[in-house]
Amino acid sequence: MERTASAPVILAPSVLAADFGRLAAHTTEALDAGAEWLHIDVMDGHFVPNISFGAPVMRGLRAMAEERNVPLDVHLMIEEPDRYLKDFAEAGAALITVHEEACPHLHRTVQAIHDLGCRAGVAVNPATPLVTLEEIAPDLDLVLIMSVNPGFGGQAFIESAVDKVRRCRQMLGGMGSRALIEVDGGVTPDNTPALLRAGADVLVAGSAVFRGDVAANVQAFRQSAASAGRQVA
């Protein structure tokens, strides 16, 4: 099911790729250029082989995000995410995404996210089949398709993710779900048209936004989206 130009594309720069020495200024550049969300990748060194940051860093961005009405899109690549949901909600998360692979009681976790007043997403790793989401999909606000194996920025895009997005769109459409589809990992202006035609709504990009001229990079995503008949929101 292809998306039409009436379905806007959300560009969500990954803060993990920003310059932490000037984090607020660097992320502001992306927002000034037209990015819609800020994506917060949280890693614990257990679920994935890397450590990033936690709720205190988010709190440092919260005032700027609230002033601009920019959602903080939190992606928890951590074990036992239920222990930290409240911390991230209180730090300003608008949307919290957990991994299917990390949640033995996924429905309970999703309900807890909603009870905290946040939108709920579930991510699946490249080797995790979409069938694992069939029962929880009606309760979701977002499905995150990982297009790299999580843990490090700058990895090469896994091409089979395009078909996975297409199948996810068909699955959600078949059950009448209005959940957004987000793609994270190796997303660039080059693979953007294929992802959007497959049905993606939210593009997470780290290096492709923050490396070099941020405004020019965001404009490249805009032009790429337009070539697929979609517009960045």
Q: Are 125 and 146 in contact (CB under 8 A)?
A: yes
Q: 217: which 2 tokens?
A: 């990079």
Q: What are the E-state strand segments in the chain?
A: 10-13, 38-43, 72-77, 93-99, 119-124, 142-146, 180-184, 202-205
Q: Are 102 and 128 in contact (CB under 8 A)?
A: no
| Residue 148 CA neighbour count, 13 Å, CB half | 18
184 is catalytic: yes
Of 32, 41, 82, 115, which residue is the catalytic one? 41
Of 44, 73, 184, 201, which residue is the catalytic one? 184
Q: What is the CA radius of gyration of the chain?
A: 16
Q: Are 73 and 41 in contact (CB under 8 A)?
A: no
Give the residue numbers marked as catalytic. 41, 184
